[in-house]
Amino acid sequence: MKHFLRRQRYLIDFTVASLARRMGKNLGLLGVYTLIVFLLASVMLFTQSLRHEASLLLVNAPEVVVQRMLAGRHELIPEDYLQRIGKVRGVAAMYGRLWGYFYDPVVQANYTLMVPREHAPVSGEVKVGHAIARTRGLGLGDFLSFRSAQGQSFAFRVSEILSSDSELVSADLLLVSEDDFRTFFGIEPGLYTDIALEVRNPKEVRKVAEKLTVLLPDTRPILREEILRTYDALFAWRQGIVFVLLAGSLLAFVIFAWDKASGLSAEEKREIGILKAIGWDTGDVIQMKFWEGALVSLGAFLLGYLAAYGHIFFFDAALFAPVLKGWAVLYPKFHPAPFIDGLQVATLFFFTVFPYTVATVVPIWRAATTDPDAVMR
C-alpha cells in the first residue's frame, strides 16, 4: 500500500511538472472549466434553495381556496357561498379573504392590499411590506396617499413595517382594515375576493373539492397541493430555461475540453514516446494522464462549486437578481437558505469531472499502446 501511494505521488509530481510546462494553456482551461461549473452550480443551488424555501413557506397556505369565476375571469364571491360551503361534510373552517391589487403611479409598482384575519390595523393605518418601505422610503408614522376607485384621496399612516425576514412572501403587501379596504376599492359588504377552507381530514381534500365543484358550478377550488406543485414546477422550469440558455456555452466548452483532452499534440506524443523508451509501461503513462485529468477537473469542480456556494448563500445570488426582477419595481430582498440535494451535487460532479477525465485517458491509452519508435517519429 505504501509503495502504491508513493508511486502515485511521484506520478502526481510528474503530472504537475508536465502541466506547469504548458502553464498558460492549462490555466486557461482551468479558468473556463471553473466558470462553467460555477454557472451550473449557481443555477442548481439557487433553484434548489428557492424550491425548498417555497415548500417550507407555502405548506401553511390555505388548504383550499375557492374562487368564483364569471366569463372566465376571477369574480368577487358573495357571503352566502360561505353558508353553502359550510354544508359540505368535511369542511372544518372557512373564511372570506379580502385582497386585491393597487397600481401606484408614483413608483410605478403594483401592491397587494389585504385584510388580515387577526391583528388588523385600525382604520386609517396600514402595515407595509419591507420592499414597499424601502422603495418609497417609508418609516413608522409616515403617511401613504393613494387615490381610491372613486377618485378620493386616502391617507394611511404606517403603523408597522413587516419583517424583512418574510420578504419573500410579503414584499408588496399592504395590510389595511376591512372598512378601509371596502371603501377604498368600492366593494360592497357581503362580498369577498375568495374563500379559504380548512378540511378536517387531509385525505378528504380532493373529495371536498369535487363536492364543491358540483355544489357551486361557477367556482373553482385551488388546493394547497396544487399551489406547492405549481412552485415546484416553476423552479424546475426556470432551471431548465437557464440550462437551455447555457447550452451554447456548455457545448463550446465540451468541444474545447474534448479537443484539449483528446487531441494529443506532437509534443505530448513525443513525451509519451520518450517515457516509454526510458522504461515506463503503458499503465504508468495512463495513470499519469489520469492524474492530469483528475487534478484539472476536480480542481475546477471544487473551485466552481465553492464560488457558486458563496455567490448564492453569502452574496444572495447577486448575478441572478437582474434576471429574476423582470420589470417589477418591487422585488424581495431575500437570503436564500442553503439546501443542498446530495443527488444533484453528485450528478453535477459526475457530469463535470468524469467526462473530462475519460477524454484525457482514452487517447493516451491509444498512443501509449503503440510502439515508442513510431510515436516519436
Partner 1 sequence: MPTNYDTISKAHYRLRVGTLPLILLGLGLLIFAISLLDAHWRAQTLQAGTGAALVAELGLTDLALFTEARYTRHLSQADRHSAFQDHPLALDHFPSGSLVPPPERLRQP
Would you count residue 36 as binding partner 1 (CB under 8 A)? no
**How far is it, in rounded angstroms, from Cα 76 to Cα 228?**
24
180 closest CA partner among 119, 117, 115, 130: 115
Q: Considering only residues 172 through 201, tell me which ones interact with partner 1, judged by CB under 8 A.
A: 172-173, 175, 194, 196
Distance CA 130, CA 132 (A): 5
54 counts as binding partner 1 under rule CB under 8 A? yes
Residue closer to partner 1 (CB basis): 349 or 365: 349
Which of 106, 245, 324, 374 touches partner 1 (CB under 8 A)? 324
- Confirm or reject binding of residue 315 to partner 1 (CB under 8 A): no
* 169 is a contact residue toward partner 1 (CB under 8 A): yes
The Cα–Cα gap between 172 and 131 comes to 6
**Rule CB under 8 A: is residue 152 a binding residue for partner 1?**
no
By CB under 8 A, name the one of 21, 25, 27, 69 that touches partner 1.
69
CB of 13 or CB of 267, closer to partner 1: 13
From 32, 35, 97, 187, residue interacting with partner 1 (rule: CB under 8 A): 97
Determine, following the binding rule CB under 8 A, whether residue 118 of this chain makes contact with partner 1.
yes
Site for partner 1 in 243-282 (CB under 8 A): none
* 303-307: long-range contacts, CB 8 A cutoff, minimum separation 24: 303/30, 303/34, 303/37, 303/38, 304/33, 304/34, 304/35, 304/36, 304/37, 304/38, 304/40, 304/41, 304/352, 305/37, 305/38, 305/41, 305/345, 305/348, 307/34, 307/38
The answer to whether residue 117 forms part of the interface with partner 1 (CB under 8 A) is yes
In the complex, the smallest distance separating the C-beta of residue 309 from partner 1, rounded to whole angstroms, is 5
Scanning 28-36, 211-219, 225-233, 265-273 for contacts with partner 1 by CB under 8 A, the matching segment is: 225-233
Cell (9 digits) for 125: 393605518
Q: How far apart are CA 243 and CA 237, in angstroms?
A: 10
Tell which one of 67, 148, 159, 344 touches partner 1 (CB under 8 A). Answer: 67
Q: Which cell is 152 given?
A: 378620493
Q: Where are the alpha helices (H) located in the chain, listed in sequence order?
A: 2-21, 23-58, 80-86, 130-136, 167-170, 178-185, 205-215, 224-262, 266-277, 282-313, 321-325, 342-368, 372-376
Q: According to CB under 8 A, which one of 166, 183, 282, 370 is a site residue for partner 1?
A: 166
Select the residue interacting with partner 1 from 24, 72, 151, 217 (CB under 8 A): 72
Q: Does 230 bind partner 1 (CB under 8 A)?
A: yes
In the numeric block, the cell 433553484 is attached to 47
| 159 touches partner 1 (CB under 8 A) | no
**Size of site (CB under 8 A) for partner 1:** 87
Part of the chain binding partner 1 (CB under 8 A), chosen from 160-168, 247-255, 259-267, 275-283: 160-168
Residue whose C-alpha cell reads 510528474 in the numeric block: 14
CB of residue 349 vs partner 1: minimum separation in angstroms?
10
State how far the Cα of 64 lies from the Cα of 275, in Å rounded to an integer.
72
| Minimum separation from the CB atom of position 320 to partner 1 (A) | 11
Min dist. Cβ of residue 202 to partner 1 (A): 16
In degrees and rounded to multiples of 5, residue 65 shows phi and psi of: -115, 130
Per CB under 8 A, does 64 bind partner 1? no
Binding residue for partner 1, selected from 87, 89, 119, 203, defined by CB under 8 A = 119
The residue behind cell 509503495 is 3
The answer to whether 161 touches 217, Cβ cutoff 8 Å, is no
Instruction: Name the residue nearer to partner 1 (CB basis): 97 or 136.
Output: 97
Read off the amino acid at residue 316.
D
Contact of 359 with 258, CB cutoff 8 Å: yes
Q: Candidates 5-13, 183-191, 255-263, 356-364 — which segment interacts with partner 1 by CB under 8 A?
A: 5-13
Of all helices (H) and strands (E), which one includes residue 223?
strand 219-223
| Binders of partner 1 in range 334-353 (CB under 8 A) | 337-340
Query: Judged by CB under 8 A, which of 138, 303, 358, 376 binds partner 1?
Result: 303
Instruction: Write out the binding residues for partner 1, residues 277-296 only, by CB under 8 A.
Output: 295
User: How many whole angstroms separate alpha carbon 258 and alpha carbon 23?
Assistant: 18
